[in-house]
Amino acid sequence: MQDTFSLQFPFILASNSPRRKEILTQAGFQFSVLPSDVDESFPVDMKAQEVPVMLAERKAKALLESCASSLILAADTVVILENEILNKPLDKQDALQMLQKLSGKTHEVVTGIALASPQGIVTAADSAFVTFRELANWEMEWYVRGGSSLDKAGAYGVQDFIGMAGIEQLNGSFYTVMGLPIYRVYELMKPFILESKQMPLGI
């Protein structure tokens, strides 16, 4: 069984994303899940790369009053193609159209994170650039038919079939594309990790 970090405060993930839960767990964090339900609209003239940080901060702030003595981690991921944000698709037809746009092109994925603590809120963002090969229509249709594209920004998961078989190049962190730049999260969390008092390894 994997060891987990001892933290100065209770740790809350303000997201019900199975990907974010998996990444945090594998990184050694114990946490409770309390999804933050907020308005995810943003100004139309806002720079696309700034949107996920703003939304992550909004999600973290929404839980501040009820969880004042905790660490609250919120995140938001956007897919940006030619300055257009591709959000979660409305339906399978919308998902297919998004994948057709991404096929054969390079797009940017930005994940914003916000960590609220009794000391205040800190934010960060991380970008990665993803290049898809030319995808066949049947490949995109087969993937969309399975339904897993519907809860993902840009209608795809880097860890799913279309990511495994379709991505030619990825510049940046895999985990940023998956939805949580864990190396940035760890940097923000490090001040709240209590020093380990474990016994020597004996090796």
109/86 Cα distance (integer angstroms): 10
Catalytic residue from among 3, 39, 45, 76? 76
Which residues partner with 13 through β-bridges?
33, 73
The torsion angles phi and psi of 142, rounded to 5 degrees, stand at -60, -45
Exposure string for 52-64, b = 16+ CB within 10 A, e = fewer: bbbbbbbbbbbbe
* Amino acid letter for position 124: A
CA-to-CA separations, 27 to 23, 99, 187, in angstroms, rounded:
6, 30, 12
109/154 Cα distance (integer angstroms): 9
Question: Is 76 one of the catalytic residues?
Answer: yes
- What residues are annotated to the active site? 76
